[in-house]
């Protein structure tokens, strides 16, 4: 009885896994076959890389890749600096009004930048940041989520280390850089993975604040490329899609364990 | 001594505020100011060349309530939330239970469940386009094996929203699985052993022990799923653009459309304020939940 239920479990789990992964496999299948072979499920037909070549020539992908890369880098650097400073203030510095400000920060977890597109667009335009990569990234830099994460990480640093560094004559800032930051390395890594994958995939906000090839990230480029007005067929869209998710997907498959750990750490507060 | 302590306190206060300044400026610029400004501009009319903007009070809101599209969009979004939230949570739980049990090919199973989570929604939409294409798509090809006629999944009002919902579930179930998986790993194995000795059935064990222990996680996932049911709309841009005849249009897409396709920002602002209110309720639920959890610990 137990054996049977165990086999049933395995069967169910694997069946669901196959269903879950199948859209990706179909996309891959379509990407390496001619459109007619792809839609007819001609299992014996030969593979081709033509779709990738046509897709690659159809849009400035290299520029899009560069833009996305630059975007996630800028966002990450900004987030690291801002959340480190704020997280440290909330964790280890005592000042009046701290709790109230912290609640204000937590509120931002729910005021999604996505929902405020109308006014954020106005703010970005007024700052002269429309159609710049900085303009795409800057609203996400003071991430409440990151501040919260850093606060938790810094809170767990033993106070003895802090005092020891202070007796050695270290300044506040020195203590932050030399004691707290190195000890929070795993949190930084986790946060980096979550941040990079979020902003690699972000679409609506970049769609609104970019208006040229020089700033457009991959997701926006991909959506324009696949637009029905362009009349591209399914194999070529699939090739472009596979191409644009490949870096992140490969990174995920290689670092799967760390990735999952990172997401876990980010969710459990 | 006292004076020294006072000095130290003042120094810390200055230090604290200095450290917070960059975050405070950016949060004010991109969260608080826009929220207040949104509310403010929702009270004014849309300016045209002849009629400059003027204060209209609640008129934009009453316009919204008299706009049939608004009600369609709200209904769609409620339906979208009503289906995606429970179904994703159900799948997430099943996935986590399986990925946590001693089954064969566990590594493959985990990877398969989680992979959609790392894809951009736009890419997910492109991938599913191949499923939904009428006649040629995977779904219709499977259907034709059983002699079913081709269906224009994305092009008819009865199925368009469902097509959107399925992509969302596919994308988010694996993400929620991770949280359940983490929670499952904190349940002591003693409970299972005790249940086995007592001869408790698997379903009873699941219902009486595991599910109650997972309750805080479920609540956390629930709040996230609620937020996602407002936030996850990227695939609309690829799959349906809210059509046909608004059948798959969701609130955030409608906000985007009003503001950036019809240039009607006052009404978009009014709708944004309503969404912020709903998110505020979600925030309250979350805070209460955090309170309760700290209470237990």
Q: Which residue has the tokens 């599910």?
A: B211
How far is it, in rounded angstroms, from Cα B151 to Cα B162? 13
Number of domains in chain A: 1
Task: Decide: residue B290, CB within 10 A, 0-12 exposed, 13-18 middle, 19+ buried.
Answer: middle
Find, among A222, A238, A266, A198, the residue nearest to A24 by Cα.
A238
B1 pLDDT higher than 60? no
Examine residue B38 and state whether it is found in any structural domain, yes or no: no
Nearest CA-CA distance, residue A60 and chain B, Å: 17
Enclosing H/E stretch for B127: helix B121-132
Sign of CA dihedral B86, B92, B94, B97: negative
pLDDT, tens digit, 9 for 90 and up, residues B118-161? 889 999 998 888 888 877 777 887 887 887 877 888 888 888 99
Nearest CA-CA distance, residue B150 and chain A, Å: 14
- pLDDT, residue A266, reads 59
How far is it, in rounded angstroms, from Cα B123 to Cα B175? 17
Which residues in chain A are contacts of B138 at CB distance < 8 A? Answer: 26
Domain limits for position B246: 65-296
Sign of CA dihedral B8, B11, B17, B19: negative
Examine residue A122 and state whether it is found in any structural domain, yes or no: yes
Range among A72-81, A98-107, B97-106, B213-222 rated most confident: A72-81
**B226 alpha carbon, distance to own chain's centre:** 5
Domain limits for position A64: 60-267
Sequence length of chain B is: 297
Please state whether the peptide bond connecting residue B240 to the residue before it is cis, i.e. omega within 30 degrees of 0: no
Which residues in chain B are contacts of A106 at CB distance < 8 A? Answer: 283, 287
Q: B44 by DSSP, 3-state: which? A: strand
Average pLDDT over residues B162-187: 89
pLDDT, tens digit, 9 for 90 and up, residues B234-276? 999 988 888 788 889 999 999 999 999 988 888 999 999 999 9
> Would you say B259 and B268 are in contact if contact means Cβ atoms under 8 Å apart?
yes
Average pLDDT over residues A210-233: 83
Q: DSSP string of B138-190? A: HHHHHHHHTTPPP--TTTSHHHHHHHHHHHHHHHHHHHHHHHHHHHHTTS-HH
Helix segments in B1-120, DSSP class H: 2-27, 33-41, 59-66, 68-100, 106-118
Examine residue B213 and state whether it is found in any structural domain, yes or no: yes
Which chain B residue is nearest to residue A260, measuring alpha carbons?
Answer: B178
pLDDT, tens digit, 9 for 90 and up, residues B15-49? 888 999 999 999 999 989 999 999 998 898 887 77
Examine residue B120 and state whether it is found in any structural domain, yes or no: yes
Is B13 an interface residue toward A (CB < 8 Å)?
Answer: yes
Q: Which residue has the tokens 């990706």?
A: A24
Q: Do the Cβ atoms of A89 and B141 come within 8 Å? A: no
Q: Do the Cβ atoms of A98 and B105 come within 8 Å? A: no
B297 pLDDT higher than 50? no
How far is it, in rounded angstroms, from Cα B218 to Cα A34? 45
Nearest CA-CA distance, residue A53 and chain B, Å: 18
A82 pLDDT higher than 90? yes
B218 pLDDT higher than 50? yes
Least confident of A97-101, A204-208, A264-268, B11-15: A264-268
Which residues in chain A are contacts of B131 at CB distance < 8 A? Answer: 23, 26
Task: Name beta bridge partners: A74.
Answer: none
CATH code of residue B246? 1.10.3720.10
B111 pLDDT higher than 80? yes
CATH code of residue A177? 1.10.3720.10
Number of domains in chain B: 1
- pLDDT, residue A88, reads 92
Which chain A residue is nearest to residue B223, measuring alpha carbons?
Answer: A110
Examine residue B47 and state whether it is found in any structural domain, yes or no: no
Which residues in chain B are contacts of A244 at CB distance < 8 A? Answer: 120, 123
Its ipTM equals 0.86
Examine residue B69 and state whether it is found in any structural domain, yes or no: yes
- pLDDT, residue B295, reads 38
Q: Do the Cβ atoms of A86 and B31 come within 8 Å? A: no
- pLDDT, residue B187, reads 83
- pLDDT, residue B149, reads 79
Examine residue A257 and state whether it is found in any structural domain, yes or no: yes
A35 pLDDT higher than 80? no
Place A197 in a pLDDT band, splitting at 50, 70 and 90.
confident
């Amino acid at each position: 009885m137990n054996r049977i239920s165990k086999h049933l479990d395995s069967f169910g789990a694997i069946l669901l896994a196959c269903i879950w992964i199948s859209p990706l496999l179909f996309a891959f299948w379509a990407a390496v076959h001619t459109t007619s072979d792809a839609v007819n499920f001609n299992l014996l037909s030969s593979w081709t890389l033509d779709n990738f070549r046509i897709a690659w020539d159809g849009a400035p992908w290299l520029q899009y890749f560069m833009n996305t890369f630059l975007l996630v880098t800028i966002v990450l650097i900004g987030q690291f600096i801002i959340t480190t400073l704020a997280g440290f203030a909330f964790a280890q510095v005592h000042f009046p009004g701290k709790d109230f400000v912290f609640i204000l920060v937590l509120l931002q977890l729910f005021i999604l930048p996505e929902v405020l597109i109308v006014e954020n667009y106005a703010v970005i335009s007024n700052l002269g940041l429309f159609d710049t990569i900085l303009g795409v990234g800057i609203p996400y830099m003071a991430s409440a989520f990151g501040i919260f994460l850093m606060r938790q990480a810094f809170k767990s640093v033993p106070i003895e280390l802090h005092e020891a560094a202070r007796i050695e004559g270290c300044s506040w800032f020195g203590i932050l850089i030399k004691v707290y930051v190195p000890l929070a390395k795993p949190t930084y890594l986790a946060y980096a993975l979550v941040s990079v994958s979020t902003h690699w995939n972000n679409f609506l906000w970049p769609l609104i604040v970019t208006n040229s090839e020089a700033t457009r990230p991959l997701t926006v480029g991909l959506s324009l490329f696949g637009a029905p007005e362009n009349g591209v067929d399914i194999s070529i869209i699939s090739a472009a899609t596979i191409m644009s998710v490949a870096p992140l997907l490969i990174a995920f498959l290689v670092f799967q364990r760390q990735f999952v750990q990172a997401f876990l750490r980010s969710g459990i507060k | 001594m006292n004076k020294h302590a006072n000095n130290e306190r003042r120094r810390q206060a200055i230090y604290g505020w200095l450290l917070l300044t960059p975050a405070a400026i950016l949060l004010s610029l991109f969260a608080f100011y826009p929220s207040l400004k949104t509310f403010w501009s929702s009270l004014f009319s849309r300016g045209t060349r002849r009629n400059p903007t003027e204060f209209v009070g609640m008129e934009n809101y009453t316009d919204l309530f008299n706009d049939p599209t608004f009600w369609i969009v709200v209904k769609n979004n409620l339906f979208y939330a009503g289906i995606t939230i429970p179904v994703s949570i159900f799948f997430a739980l099943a996935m986590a239970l399986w990925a946590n049990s001693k089954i064969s090919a566990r590594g493959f199973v985990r990877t398969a469940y989680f992979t959609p989570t790392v894809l951009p929604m736009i890419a997910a939409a492109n991938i599913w386009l191949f499923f939904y294409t009428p006649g040629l798509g995977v779904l219709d090809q499977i259907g034709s094996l059983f002699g079913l006629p081709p269906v224009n999944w994305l092009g008819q009002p009865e199925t368009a929203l469902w097509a959107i919902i399925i992509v969302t579930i596919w994308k988010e179930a694996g993400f929620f699985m991770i949280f359940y998986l983490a929670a499952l790993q904190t349940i002591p194995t003693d409970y299972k052993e005790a249940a086995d000795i007592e001869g408790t059935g698997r379903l009873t064990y699941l219902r009486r022990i595991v599910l109650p222990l997972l309750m805080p996680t479920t609540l956390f996932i629930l709040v996230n799923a609620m937020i996602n049911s407002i936030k996850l709309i990227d695939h609309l841009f690829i799959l349906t653009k809210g059509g046909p005849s608004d059948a798959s249009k969701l609130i955030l897409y409608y906000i985007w459309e009003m503001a950036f396709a019809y240039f009607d920002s006052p009404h978009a602002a009014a709708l944004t304020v309503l969404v912020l209110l709903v998110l505020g309720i979600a925030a309250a639920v979350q805070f209460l939940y955090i309170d309760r959890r700290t209470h237990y610990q």
